[in-house]
Structure 1
């Protein structure tokens, strides 16, 4: 990935998130001016105090007044800087919260293709590691920015008033500090960007392996996974070491240049005093040394957090990369289906997940209202792809799919999907109450509707035995349930949503044979009057289907009823014979 070393575009895009909080920014500017002014004035008081101490007769009353004023100024400075820090933290975390909200909103608008092609752990890493780094860096910069600018400007004015010659000495060193910081940051930014990408890879790998630990152990892949992890981790170590090493040079190099400036100020000031200059005194040189420190301090402190800034910039770039992903096309002007009859027609449909590798070609089929359509075939035949196209998880490349004569691309996606109920082989229940899970597709469902669905899915007795019945928490924070029970609950959830059409993808794969027969009867009751698509490998579950499609390589090679296909003694007969032979 060959990108510009320093991505100014991402910084520019983040500014609106920061500028949104006007009150906090104005307050920080005001407090920054106060903190900067008091810091500069403290230095002036130090110079006056030094001049008071080196005279032959010390005026203690004047010295006490200077010290008292100095203490008061210190308190004002400390309080101002503390308030700036509070405001900086608030703006940083609120701005990043807004960015995180926009990024999550973008996730909801991205097509399924993006999720299929991107590691889920990598996506999660952008919401956690990357954005946390941004908020920490913004807070650190915010704390230095306003008071630092004030100090630089006021210190410059005071130095000019005291000595033009000494000011020139200080000004010579400052551009060198800036150039050193810029050169190191520019050279190391690619390492920081790659470091954050590898962090995402580590997150994706660990998420995948932890979530599938049973399979890992079943296939004895612990050592293989350990080796793969160590390889990724080693690359992260190397990249991180390079990034940290190059970035760590910034602060000491900047301080070295700054210390040379101290020496130059000291020698130049001493020379002017010895030359008999009336404008330069020992107190002036003392103040000037501190002013030169204050003048360069913001640059030094920024260089000290270069690592945080560069890590944050890499995370910011990755976040905006997510926001720049092509979202699904707008469907605000789309139609809405009402009074769905359920006639579904595939007309000359072509589709490929990868260009130049077609999966479905010239696919034609019509499902009449209320028909139950079973789809069978070998793995990779295109069965689940038809579901993806029907739900518009992917759009067809050519041809069209219509429902009641309306091209589904002319419909609003939410409206289209609302009319389908899906029960998938991969079950999903989130960490919440049982009621919230069951009403996920129909928030207005009554308890009576919920209990009816639970009875039809043979989960009513189980739920009634739970400590808090429907209000029982399930998932990581609640009770654990078996895979079969999870699938029965997802079936009940689909029944509660009361859709016009159904898609059942291996919906009974995790239940025993007896329970499967009971669920089949519940399904048959639910499928009455609804156009239904049933994907199944166990042919015993689809024998009552109105029509069975046998697919191979994206084409229908046979279709008919169970009896018709057995009589034809073709592909379906062979599949049936393979499953039921003695």
Structure 2
């Protein structure tokens, strides 16, 4: 069972690393990344040795093949004929070299794949654990797309480099050095002739990379715009059709699609030019070497087999040079991706000062027994602001007796939902304290504290899975019978039983195969199953019709019996039976009392209620 994917804002948030993007601290980031490889030092050392050995065997092979050619030429030019025994030995030796090169290459690839996946596994786990420890304010300040990009795209970029580019860099550098040694060993003059065009190849590679980086960035940018637009139009297709905006939607899509086409065409065309151009330059060297080699062969300075081997080396030389340039560029993007990953891992975590002692050991927090909890909640001079210089809640004082149903109402921005976040210690207070059964909530561990609260929110949160699994999320150890009893209490049991698969009905990823009201009823069933001493209902009935609302009110009346309950509502008709109504405005309680008392005062609440009543 996996959570539904949350959508990031349209066009916002990174859409993966872009070619050419550079890290702010390349050296520091790479040093940190290497520290993750340190536990696998032995395996990495073996990879280095095997990669070098595989490359050396591969490099030596053309020379051995040249010896075979010389043996054939020698036999043809002599009366004794070809020495097939000697030729067979050379060919067997050549096959052995090719075999060893294959074995070493396969083994080093296998080992490096394991090492890279272990490192990436540890990084993913570190990021996952970090997400659990980050304070809510971090998620409030970041888009979902940005966080998802770090956890998925950036990690995958690092993975690609560790599993492929690292060994490719080793083999490419070793190949370049090895080929140079073998070329010089055959003939220095031919080597110099072949290397004359090398600066030209490097210049071409540098120019192409420089030109393509901007186009690749634009390609990534407009790909994100296209994806974002398609996602928005798909999720809001009903609204698009209702307002006859199909033509406008197509026009916007065509604009982004055209930009994507232009940038993608240019980036792919220019990057595709790299190999043909470097091959062209290599062919110039190839021609020069052939002419010079023929001249030297006539003089007897080199053999035909040497020329054959040398030409093979020349043909093989440009590829590792291009690979090194490409990997060097890719390392910049990898460093940028890794830097974003490490920044995420290094983010300030939720303050656990109440859960952990100063020496780092577990603090002796107060035990919290749900079975004997009375549910008394007291706010004493509570002050809080998301910014230290701007308080939203100011000197909030109130005592909730066990079993009371407290409704909190007020205009948008009054601080209603903030009170709930403070109760659950999603944020720490700027001043004052909140107590449960006479003890400061800081004296309890966060885990224990949050275990006593059940929540039903306006924003329904369902998972891709069965109906049964979604309800059972409130209490993972619940039996099937307990799940069904909770569904009955939430008035959703009948609907579930009318479905072909009943409680095994699959809720799809977007939860589009059930109505909004049914989603809300399922979250209520989940809260009923959790059976917590204190209940928080934040706009729990705002998304359902009147008939369903009546059913929910009946279920909630049973649920809140002998439980302390906090009810946040904009629809004031749903809180008439509350034991106490707190009317908030600008972070302060401006009125409090029962529904009848507040109407009799003819104040802020009465005006708010009457305006809604007339609207309804």
Which category describes the TM-score, using the shorter chain as reference length? 0.7 to 0.9
Paired residues of 2:410 and 2:584 also in contact (CA < 8 A): yes
Change (3 A) 1:448 1:5: closer
How many residues in Structure 1 have an aligned counterpart in Structure 2?
A: 580
Give SS of 1:369's match: coil
Report how far residue 197 of structure 1 moved: 6.5
Q: Which moved more, 1:153-162 or 1:494-503?
A: 153-162
Q: Give, in whole Å, the separation in 2 of the partners of 1:189 and 1:330.
A: 44
Give SS of 1:373's match: strand
The equivalent residue for 1:66 is 90
Change (3 A) 1:183 1:362: farther
Paired residues of 2:157 and 2:337 also in contact (CA < 8 A): yes
Report how far residue 146 of structure 1 moved: 4.5
The question of 1:541 aligning with 2:560 is answered no
Q: Which moved more, 1:301-310 or 1:365-374?
A: 301-310
Report how far residue 375 of structure 1 moved: 1.1
Match of 1:494 among 513, 519, 527: 527
Change (3 A) 1:180 1:202: same
Give SS of 1:550's match: strand
The equivalent residue for 1:342 is 375
RMSD, matched Cα: 4.1
The question of 1:119 aligning with 2:143 is answered yes
Paired residues of 2:26 and 2:335 also in contact (CA < 8 A): yes
Q: Which aligned pairs between 1:547-558 and structure 2 lie closer than 5 A?
A: 547-558=580-591
Q: Which aligned pairs between 1:305-316 and structure 2 lie closer than 5 A?
A: 315-316=337-338
Paired residues of 2:381 and 2:396 also in contact (CA < 8 A): yes
Match of 1:102 among 126, 137, 145: 126
Report how far residue 162 of structure 1 moved: 3.9
Q: Which aligned pairs between 1:506-525 and structure 2 lie closer than 5 A?
A: 506-525=539-558
The equivalent residue for 1:287 is 309
Report how far residue 489 of structure 1 moved: 1.5
Q: Which aligned pairs between 1:216-235 and structure 2 lie closer than 5 A?
A: 216-218=240-242
The equivalent residue for 2:64 is 45
Paired residues of 1:547 and 1:559 also in contact (CA < 8 A): yes
The equivalent residue for 1:144 is 168
Paired residues of 2:406 and 2:578 also in contact (CA < 8 A): yes
How high is the TM-score relative to the length of structure 2? 0.79
Report how far residue 542 of structure 1 moved: 0.9
How high is the TM-score relative to the length of structure 1? 0.83
Match of 2:560 among 522, 527, 552: 527
Change (3 A) 1:135 1:346: same
Q: Give, in whole Å, the separation in 2 of the partners of 1:6 and 1:254.
A: 32
Paired residues of 2:172 and 2:323 also in contact (CA < 8 A): no
Q: Which moved more, 1:99-108 or 1:308-317?
A: 308-317
Paired residues of 1:169 and 1:265 also in contact (CA < 8 A): yes
The equivalent residue for 2:33 is 14
Report how far residue 545 of structure 1 moved: 1.2
Give SS of 2:463's match: coil
Q: Give, in whole Å, the separation in 2 of the partners of 1:542 and 1:134.
A: 53
Q: Give, in whole Å, the separation in 1 of the partners of 2:277 and 2:431.
A: 62
Match of 1:370 among 403, 406, 428: 403
Paired residues of 2:23 and 2:332 also in contact (CA < 8 A): no
Q: Give, in whole Å, the separation in 2 of the partners of 1:245 and 1:406.
A: 69
Q: Give, in whole Å, the separation in 1 of the partners of 2:601 and 2:89.
A: 110
Change (3 A) 1:33 1:252: same
Q: Give, in whole Å, the separation in 2 of the partners of 1:434 and 1:233.
A: 40
Q: Which aligned pairs between 1:272-421 and structure 2 lie closer than 5 A?
A: 280-294=302-316, 297-303=319-325, 315-330=337-352, 332-333=355-356, 335-336=365-366, 338-339=368-369, 340-353=373-386, 358-409=391-442, 411-421=444-454
Give SS of 2:397's match: strand
Paired residues of 2:409 and 2:581 also in contact (CA < 8 A): yes
Report how far residue 111 of structure 1 moved: 2.8
Give SS of 1:365's match: strand
The equivalent residue for 1:505 is 538
Query: Structure 1 regions of 5+ residues with no counterpart?
Result: none
Q: Give, in whole Å, the separation in 1 of the partners of 2:399 and 2:222.
A: 48
Q: Give, in whole Å, the separation in 1 of the partners of 2:533 and 2:185.
A: 83
Change (3 A) 1:209 1:336: farther
Change (3 A) 1:432 1:327: same
Q: Which moved more, 1:288-297 or 1:168-177?
A: 168-177
Q: Give, in whole Å, the separation in 2 of the partners of 1:382 and 1:308.
A: 48
Give SS of 1:381's match: coil
Q: Give, in whole Å, the separation in 2 of the partners of 1:175 and 1:313.
A: 27
Paired residues of 2:22 and 2:333 also in contact (CA < 8 A): no
Give SS of 2:435's match: strand
Report how far residue 374 of structure 1 moved: 0.5
Paired residues of 1:473 and 1:479 also in contact (CA < 8 A): no
Report how far residue 301 of structure 1 moved: 2.7
Give SS of 2:406's match: strand
Report how far residue 490 of structure 1 moved: 1.0
The equivalent residue for 1:32 is 51
Residues 43-101 of structure 1: CA deviation (Å, up to 9, x unaligned) = 11132234335443253423444344334433443454455555555554554444333
Q: Which aligned pairs between 1:87-236 and structure 2 lie closer than 5 A?
A: 87-142=111-166, 144-163=168-187, 206-207=230-231, 210-218=234-242
Q: Give, in whole Å, the separation in 2 of the partners of 1:407 and 1:491.
A: 29
Paired residues of 1:121 and 1:205 also in contact (CA < 8 A): no
Give SS of 1:533's match: strand
Q: Give, in whole Å, the separation in 2 of the partners of 1:163 and 1:356.
A: 77
Larger relative contact order (C-alpha < 8 A, sep ≥ 6)? 2
Report how far residue 116 of structure 1 moved: 3.2
Paired residues of 1:136 and 1:308 also in contact (CA < 8 A): no
Q: Give, in whole Å, the separation in 2 of the partners of 1:487 and 1:226.
A: 34
